[in-house]
Amino acid sequence: MKLFLCLYMLKINVKNETSKLQCVVLGTAKSNGPTPRVEDCYDPKSKQHVIAGTYPKESAMIVEMEAVAKVFDKYDVQVLRPEIIENYNQIFARDIAFVIENKFIKANILPDRDREYEAIEYIIDQINPSDIIELPEECHVEGGDVMPWNDYIFIGTYSGEDYPDYITARTNTDAVIALQELFPEKIVKAFELRKSNTDPKENALHLDCCFQPIGKDKAILHKNGFLIEKEYQWILDYFGKENVFEITKEEMYNMNSNIFSISEEVIISEKNFTRLNTWLREKGFTVEEVPYAEIAKQEGLLRCSTMPLIRE
């Protein structure tokens, strides 16, 4: 009689955004495909660069993502990559799934992007099936809108009646309710985000495009990303104004809030974020700078292209 070892090797665990990272899925820019047509773009910033003829080249994005992989290697982080799908954009791993506590939650993403999930099935097969959650079909959610923060789950959403009119509205009220039911012991705090299909400077595609907790008690924040001022004010009060780095509209456009924490002390940031990186170092963070300006042209940056599976 043969004895079978447990195949579920990944003991997933994510309680917040900044605990020491042990295992992460990093997207890939390999075989990214040709420049999309304007009508096929999912966000206004990509559309803008397609029209201008400045949409990023695959070769440049590969270099940028490999720079991040090297930083992870430096800090002994296990890095998993999607299987390559020919001529297909697989950069933004955060969109397709996310982990809260020991639950792996499949994001109900835009239908055109289902193949991205299939490309990480070899990873999902290493997770206990009882810990894999698929939300009901009516729950629209993407990982960029979901931030576990200890006792809280912060969620970006849009609840306007014109929700179906916005391709940039990715997480709905049904998803907020479902996550609260899934984690009844957590405080789910939802924030209404500003949406635009045409102007990237007036569009918070995800919550991490206008807000991100860092360290133990600090945050990066952009006021105009929030539709309701008192929700922005709640974040400011929760972290304390002295602990919040407020970014300008131009910095939001360049994705300054979309950096990535390897630990409470170490942050990966884009090398051109001079004002932010200076502030981070003044606050005692170690900042690992990488080039990521080309990937930023698709309205996503470091947090968008990473999916943490295990944090201490």
| Run means of pLDDT, 10 residues per run, the chain, 312 residues | 52 98 97 89 88 94 98 97 94 95 89 85 95 94 96 95 83 95 98 92 93 98 97 98 97 97 98 98 98 94 97 96
3: which strand partners?
Answer: none
Residue-range domain boundaries for the chain: 21-311
**Position 276, amino acid:** L
Q: 80 with 24: CB under 8 angstroms?
A: yes
Phi and psi angles of residue 143, each rounded to the nearest 5 degrees, phi first: -60, -25
Please give the pLDDT value at position 219.
Answer: 98
Give the CATH fold of the 21-311 domain. L-arginine/glycine Amidinotransferase; Chain A (3.75.10)
Q: 27 with 92: CB under 8 angstroms?
A: yes
Please give the pLDDT value at position 8.
Answer: 63
Question: Position of tokens 């447990």?
Answer: 6
Q: 251 with 218: CB under 8 angstroms?
A: no
What are the C-alpha distances in Å from 306 to residues 80, 164, 193, 302?
10, 27, 22, 7
Side-chain-facing half-sphere of 159: CA atoms under 13 Å: 13
Indicate whether this model's pTM tops 0.95. no
Please give the pLDDT value at position 273.
Answer: 98
User: Which among 85, 88, 123 is positioned nearest to 106, based on CA atoms?
Assistant: 123
Span between the terminal Cα atoms of the chain, in Å: 37
Please give the pLDDT value at position 84.
Answer: 96
Please give the pLDDT value at position 7.
Answer: 53
Please give the pLDDT value at position 68.
Answer: 98
| Residue 247 DSSP symbol | P
Question: 210-220: string of b/e by CB count within 10 Å (b at 16+)?
Answer: bbbbbbeebbb
- Two structure tokens written together for 98: 């996310």
25: which strand partners?
Answer: 80, 307
The DSSP bridge pattern shows strands 132-134 and 146-149 to be: unpaired
Q: 63 with 295: CB under 8 angstroms?
A: no
The DSSP bridge pattern shows strands 260-261 and 103-106 to be: unpaired
Please give the pLDDT value at position 54.
Answer: 94
**Position 4, amino acid:** F
